[in-house]
Amino acid sequence: MSALYGIKYHRVRKSKELFIPSGPFPPNIEIHTMRRRTTRLFITIVLACNIVACTGLQTTESANQNSRVSIIVIHHTTANFGDSLNILTRPSQYPVSSHYLIPEPGDQTYGKSALRVYQLVDESRRAWHAGTSYWAGKSGLNDQSIGIELVNRTWCHASEHGVDPYTGGPDRLCFYPDFADGQVALLTDLLDEILKRHPDVKPTHIIGHSDIAPDRKIDPGPRFPWQRLASLGYGAWYDDATVIRYWERFRTEPLPLINVQKALSAYGYKIDATGEYDEQTRNVVRAFQLHFRPWEVTREINREMTATLFALLDKYYPEQLEELLTVEEPLDPIAPIETEQVDETRRPPATTPEMTQ
């Protein structure tokens, strides 16, 4: 266990079994051991100095650099701590990992009284957590992101009779537990330390797996406290007064669908401005609702959702507003599509029963 960065956490490394002979030991064994270690250290230092001297390597730090980390992605595991740790650290046919893992209280597989953050991959290395992903013009986000997994045992019941109208598979009813206060406290402390090391991460770049892979992921789910995190300074959230202003404006000046698609793209989502209410649009709308309107996850665009989207753009990307609010063609204004209303939070997470990138 380490207390670096002011956070108690465990580093999980591959370890070798050590052979320790049984006693009694000679009284000077510790002294001999220390002498050997000191000798080895001295030899190592001398060799290192000789190598540097021979190569003529000089270090002069440039001011023209920054961190390669620009995105933080938050996930939930759906599995308990023990299974999650195994999946995230052991070789498998479909390897997956994350930089950090945060357990939840009451998990019998955790076995400790106090919650601690587990570091599984060093921040300087790529963890395999994002998979096929995109955000704000960048793809393949494993290269430029830090992944944080929180244990949250979502589970689903599959119906033997109903059919999911979107997938054609069995209809499912899913349950999403709240994230424990202790987990959230550890997460905020961890985010605070990460942002000190990687100050280029913007509030709009602290996002969920569903934001960067809306066609296949829904974690960290509708119960994740995005608004609470933003109020503490971690991540993006809108101002209510700005939402009201756009909500009233769009009552008399409704926007065509293509403008909403362009606005979602401007915020960061991968979506093409087709002007059609296609599957990619439904998936991105669901991801947006999971993050910013979790009480209304329907994959349908309405005035409330559009006002929320433009309130975020007004706050974080105001330079893009004029273009996004310009109506180029007199297309049909936004209106809920006449389909069966389906609560999208019932759909099973793609990470059940095993986590995938």
Full DSSP string of 105-125: TT-TTT--SS--EEE-S-TTS
> 112 and 176 share a domain?
yes
Q: How far apart are CA 280 and CA 274, in angstroms?
A: 10
pTM of the model: 0.80
> 316 and 203 share a domain?
no
- Give domain status of residue 62, yes or no: no
Q: Is 248 a catalytic residue?
A: no
Catalytic, out of 104, 149, 300, 344: 149
> 201 and 258 share a domain?
no
- Give domain status of residue 60, yes or no: no
CATH number at residue 216: 3.40.80.10
User: At 173, which helix (H) or strand (E)?
Assistant: strand 170-175
* Token pair recorded at residue 168: 């054609």
The domain total for the chain is 2
Which is it for strands 206-208 and 134-135: parallel, antiparallel or unpaired?
Answer: unpaired
The tens digit of pLDDT for each residue in 214-259 reads 999 999 999 999 999 999 999 999 999 999 999 999 999 999 999 9
Q: What is the pLDDT of residue 32?
A: 45
> 170 and 260 share a domain?
no
- Give domain status of residue 139, yes or no: yes
Q: How far apart are CA 79 and CA 77, in angstroms?
A: 5
- Domain limits at 244? 240-346
**139-161: average pLDDT:** 93
The tens digit of pLDDT for each residue in 158-167 reads 888 888 777 6
Residue at a domain's end among 171, 200, 231: 231
HSE, side-chain direction, 13 A CA sphere, residue 171? 9
Q: DSSP secondary-structure letter at 2?
A: B
Would the pLDDT of 146 be above 80? yes
Q: For residue 222, is the peptide bond before it cis, meaning its omega torsion is within 30 degrees of 0?
A: no
Residue at a domain's end among 204, 231, 258: 231
> 213 and 325 share a domain?
no
> 83 and 144 share a domain?
yes
> 206 and 244 share a domain?
no
Percent above pLDDT 70 for the chain: 76
> 88 and 214 share a domain?
yes
* SS3 label, residue 138: strand
The chain-wide mean pLDDT, for the chain, equals: 85
Q: Which residues contact 144 (CB under 8 A, 6 or more apart)?
A: 68, 69, 70, 71, 138
CB-CB contact of 303 with 250 (8 Å): yes
At residue 322, φ and ψ (nearest 5 deg) are: -55, -45
- Give domain status of residue 200, yes or no: yes
- Give domain status of residue 164, yes or no: yes
Q: What is the pLDDT of residue 36?
A: 54
Q: What is the pLDDT of residue 156?
A: 86
The tens digit of pLDDT for each residue in 91-136 reads 999 999 999 999 999 999 998 999 999 999 999 999 999 999 999 9
Q: What is the pLDDT of residue 11?
A: 63
Residue at a domain's end among 231, 255, 276: 231
Nearest Cα residue to 180 out of 87, 81, 293, 71: 81
